[in-house]
Structures are given as C-alpha cells and as structure tokens.
Amino acid sequence: MSFYLPESVNCNGEKFEVFISKEQIDARISLLGKQLDKDFEGKKPIFIGILNGAFIFLSDIMRHVTIECEVDFMKLSSYGDEKVSSGEVTELKEIDAKVKGRHIILVEDIIDTGLSMKYMVNRMKMYEPESVSVVTLLHKKEATKHDVQIDYVGFEIPIKFVLGYGLDYAQEGRNLAQIYALNEV
Ligand code: IMP
Ligand code: MG
C-alpha cells in the first residue's frame, strides 16, 4: 500500500510541516503492540477507541496485537473547531460492550490537558471493569494539568498543535498518513 507523504500541507489556511514520519509511527506502534501482547496475554481485553481522533491509531495498534481481544468505541468532544480545548467534555456516543469484570484498554490519539482522559477513566470505572489501562499515541506532557492515568505513550511531544493520522484541525487533515505540526513563526 502506498501513502501520500508530503513534507508540508495547508489546512484551513495554515501551514503544517512533518513532525513525526510514517516510518517513526509504524516503528513505535509495532513496539507498543508487542508490549500489549505481553501485558494482556490471556486477558481478552476490550480496546475502546475514543472517536473521532483515535480511529486510525486504534486500527493500526489492533493489527499489531496478536492476542484475543475485542473492540468498541466511545465518542467525546471537547475541542469544537478551535485549536484550544473548550474545557468541557461532551459525551456524544456511549459504549455498547458489557465491560463489567473485563480488562479495558482506552485508546486515545492525544492527551493534552488530560481532561478528556480523566473523564473517560472515571466513566469506565463506573461499569466496574476488572482493570482500565490507557494508551495514547501522543502526550503533550507540559500541557497536562489534570491528574490523569497514562500507561502507554507513543510519543511525548512539546506543546504544539498537530494534525494528521486521525487528528484534525476543524475536522480536516485526519486522512494524512503522518503527523504534522503547525509551523509557528
Ligand atoms: P484534552 O482533554 O485537553 O487532553 O484534549 C484531548 C483531545 O483534544 C484529544 O482527544 C484531541 O481530540 C484534541 N487535541 C488535543 N491536542 C490536539 C492537537 O494538537 N491537534 C488536534 N487535536 C488535539
Ligand atoms: Mg480525541
């Protein structure tokens, strides 16, 4: 399969440049998959992807996992069409899976302030799962101000606005195969 891999892209009138290449993403996801295989062997976890941003990462990470597992989705919104979080989490879609007594792996594209993930972890615990783990592709560590659980991180990144590989800017750019960062001057 061949991908469109430009060095820079325009999105909503702003210029973004490659920040994490497809090669780097693939290599990291392969390692994360191996780690999850080891940690969840025999536990038949349920991966819960947080829509929309996590859909590409979730589908790639699941294909690197070889153990028995299931998948479900939850949809949250906190950004609207802006580059900064609205500070409020809205639940747009609930999970369907019965998670009581099961091992849950929450899959997120990026943890910024930590608000969304903190909300998700608390929400999942209400269903009395056996365990809740958190996987995020990206983590803006310096921006995280909520006390949030994070078990597996693809890449720690500085405070930059990024898009591609599922992440959007006002709903655009999710289809890019690499991660791009805003070229701020
Ligand atoms: P938090 O609740 O502040 O941690 O924000 C997490 C959510 O905001 C993520 O699930 C993303 O959907 C979105 N987000 C945070 N930073 C970025 C970014 O740099 N680009 C695109 N979306 C982002
Ligand atoms: Mg998201």
pLDDT digits (tens, 9 = 90+) for 112-164: 999 999 999 999 999 999 999 999 999 999 999 999 999 999 999 999 999 99
pLDDT digits (tens, 9 = 90+) for 13-38: 999 999 999 999 999 999 999 999 99
Task: Report the pLDDT value the prediction gives residue 107, as an integer from 0 to 100.
Answer: 98
Atom of ligand 1 nearest to the CA of 161: 19
Ligand 1 binding pocket includes 148 (Cβ within 6 Å): no
Q: Position 112: which residue type?
A: D
- One of 3.40.50.1220, 3.40.250.10, 3.40.50.620, 3.40.50.2020 is the CATH number of 8-79+90-182, namely 3.40.50.2020
CA of 110 to the centre of ligand 2 (A): 6
Ligand nearest to the CA of 55: 2
Ligand 1 binding pocket includes 163 (Cβ within 6 Å): yes
CA of 108 to the centre of ligand 2 (A): 6
Q: Strand 90-93's sheet: what is its strand order?
A: 90-93, 70-77, 46-51, 103-111, 131-139, 152-156
| Residues with a known catalytic role | 112
Closest Cα to atom 9 of ligand 1? 110
Q: Which two tokens stand for residue 32?
A: 């994360």
CA of 52 to the centre of ligand 2 (A): 6
Closest Cα to atom 11 of ligand 1? 110
> Which residues are CB-contacts of 119 (< 8 A; sequence separation ≥ 6)?
76, 89
CA of 178 to the centre of ligand 1 (A): 16
pLDDT digits (tens, 9 = 90+) for 63-112: 999 999 999 999 987 656 666 666 788 888 989 889 999 999 999 999 99
Place 42 in a pLDDT band, splitting at 50, 70 and 90: very high
Ligand 1 binding pocket includes 53 (Cβ within 6 Å): yes
Task: Report the pLDDT value the prediction gives residue 185, as an integer from 0 to 100.
Answer: 59
Distance CA 81, CA 11 (A): 13
Task: For residue 113, give Cα distances in angstroms to 80, 139, 174.
Answer: 15, 9, 21
No. of H helices and E strands in the chain?
3, 10
**Ligand 1 pocket: which of 160, 167, 179 to mutate (most atoms within 8 A of CB):** 167
Query: Which residues line ion ligand 2, judged by CB < 5 Å?
Result: 53, 109
CA neighbor of 45 nearest in space, from 139, 124, 148: 124
Tell me the pTM. 0.95
